[in-house]
Structure 1
């Protein structure tokens, strides 16, 4: 059961949207089960062995604050402006949600 649907604005954050769409098309679930407490561990697992690259962020999908994040997340190097703005937008959408809330991410 889905508790909330987020309509991600592809026209605003097109690089991040392309990464999310590509990852979902490869078979990764578009559902995020909120688990903010597990975000740091998931980030550690998803970025393990992937070096930083000057001028880029490492964008994860599924996101680290989701149960589905962590090991097996799809990582892509992304320009910070798009990645961080998109991350802030998503955080604003889910900040008040309780752990265990299932969120469906759809492109708009």
Structure 2
């Protein structure tokens, strides 16, 4: 069962279609829609989640749950997507989450 989240964030898939599709599919496949913000754990989570996914020229490796979520890390869903979509989405999300402290639970809804 999904834990309750104090906040929701609507992700604009019209602006970042590849990332939006990835988040939607990953959640449909049972990954958490709730992100518990854990900025200090991001580097370790990224290392764990990307293990076994080699870099590909011209693509970024997108993770869901995101590395900055306590739910991220080993077992995260990885998809190769274009860098402009991935980086635009990443900076959009982190900007939206700036106002929340670590430990805050935010549910993402793909619009």
The TM-score range, normalised by the shorter chain, is: over 0.9
Q: CA offsets, 1:2-34, max 9 Å, x none? A: 121100001111110000000000011100000
TM-score (norm 1): 0.97
Tell me the secondary structure at the aligned position of residue 77 of structure 1: strand
After TM superposition, the score normalised by the length of structure 2 is 0.94
Which runs of 4 or more aligned residues in structure 1 lie more than 2 Å from their structure 2 counterparts after TM superposition? none
Find the residue that maps to 2:19 and give its secondary structure.
helix
Aligned residue runs from structure 1 range 14-93, under 5 A: 14-93=17-96
List alignment gaps of at least 5 residues for structure 1. Answer: none
Unpaired runs of at least 5, structure 2 = none
The secondary structure found in structure 1 opposite 2:68 is coil
Corresponding residue pairs, total? 108
Equivalent residue of 1:59, what SS?
Answer: strand
